[in-house]
Structure 1
Amino acid sequence: MEKVIKYVLYDILRNRIVIGYTGFLLLMSLGLFQLENDPSKAVLSLLNVVLLVVPLISIIFATIHFYNSQEFMELLVAQPINRQKIFYSEYLGVALSLAAAFAIGVGVPVLLFGGSGPAGVYLISAGIFLTFIFVSLAFLASVLTRDKAKGIGLALLLWFYFSLLYDGLVMMVLFYFSEYPLENVSLGMLSLNPIDLGRVLVLLQIDVSALMGYTGALYKSLFSNFTGVLYAGLLMLAWVLLPLMLAKRIFIRKDL
């Protein structure tokens, strides 16, 4: 398993897309910190880009890589190697390489320029979690269909739903049921979208929760202590593991 992970990592880290992705994040991060005198404003600007770009690149790159690795995986399956090990090796190779690209492109500038203390640490953590989450979703989309075009289309739909459509649905629910107490409902809906969860955790560290009204105060009371942070971390971990476990189960049972 270790040899397969090393091979996948070595192959992906030489990929021009990953190198370009790292360079783009690095230049963007350095540019924002140079333009903004206040590190917290730079982190806020960086957050908006990270929440859009990181999930998109992660899910598209991982989906394309999975389909391009079909022949390699078929070769491994023909050997006395457990399918589960093959699947996890591919996943870890892709996820770790993209997480390393994010850590270099965003993590290094954030730590170098201070990154407004805890907000910078939460931004790095959220970006790494989102990388692993959307690679999991990419593998799930890939094992559901043999057709590459359909797999990429499904991956794009998942990204579109979590990045853009979900917020509109939440706003619609809050608008139509504004006469009812929706504090607990809003917390539940927050848990159903890892992008929104990462956004709230970082925003609460920049002290902009006052702009979010009563809901912001509710989020701050929940996520400002160790128990709340642990709860959020477990939610993010669940978002990594659940799609991954489902994708692994399908991969083991399907004919390649």
Structure 2
Amino acid sequence: MARQEGDPPNSDQVVNLSYDFCGKTLEYFKLMLNRNSIDGNGMDVISNVHFRKDYNNAVWLPSQNQLALGDGDGKRFINLGRSIDVVAHEMAHGVTEYVNHLDYTRQSGALNEHFSDVIGTAVQQYVKGQTAQTADWLIGDEIVGSEFRGKALRSMKEPGTAYFGDRQVAHFSKYMDIPLSDDGGGVHYFSGIPNKAFFLAAMQLGTDPATLLWYTALHDRGTIRRDAKFVDLLKALLIAAEKLIRQGELPQSAISVVTSAFSEVGILLPVHA
């Protein structure tokens, strides 16, 4: 244990950054989403820094209830704990695990990744004092190294443009079933579709109101099941929007904003005869 809650700063800068970023993420959960930590019940957050050796990744470890942040190899990535959106992204995987445990494969896995990107960008904008209009909507731009051929891990504004060879897509017409051995059936590639929809909605509603809407929809377990599809997210969002409009949390335009955003990325509600 390098630093516990309330301890003074450590001599290790990465420890201090992770401490601060976890704290800011918990603050956002509490103030903006009325959620008490990752499990909703005030659980301690364990951040495992300097994870493995030259590890080019950051992960949520459900079996150990902790996030693990690699140092990177110094070439493609530098320490992944230096980016608050990456830290918040991994903590959001823990939230998803406790709320509805979306299967990490194909569309449900892409939704899992998508929700983490939503939280990641929302927390980053909150900490940096940005708005939907002033944010760059990049995920992980602060942890790319000198040999990384691009500007970030992902772009929510323009999926597929973050780096050379970026396979993210922004429209459902580009979705296809690919082998599960390839990124779990494309969980990172196809999360660009709902990511783009969130960006479009946030530009109209504001990032924090849009995040509250997405967070509320995630709790609709009757609609967002473990094997949920993109259209299920749309259904849950429309149900959640009606609830939040009644409560005065969202404007009346929220339903049309969400419908339009998902239509723009090719996700439509089925038409019944």
Q: With structure 2 as the length reference, what TM-score do the two structures score?
A: 0.29
- Flag the structure with higher helix content: 1
Q: Which has the larger radius of gyration?
A: 1
Q: Which has the higher contact order (CA 8 A, sep 6+)?
A: 1
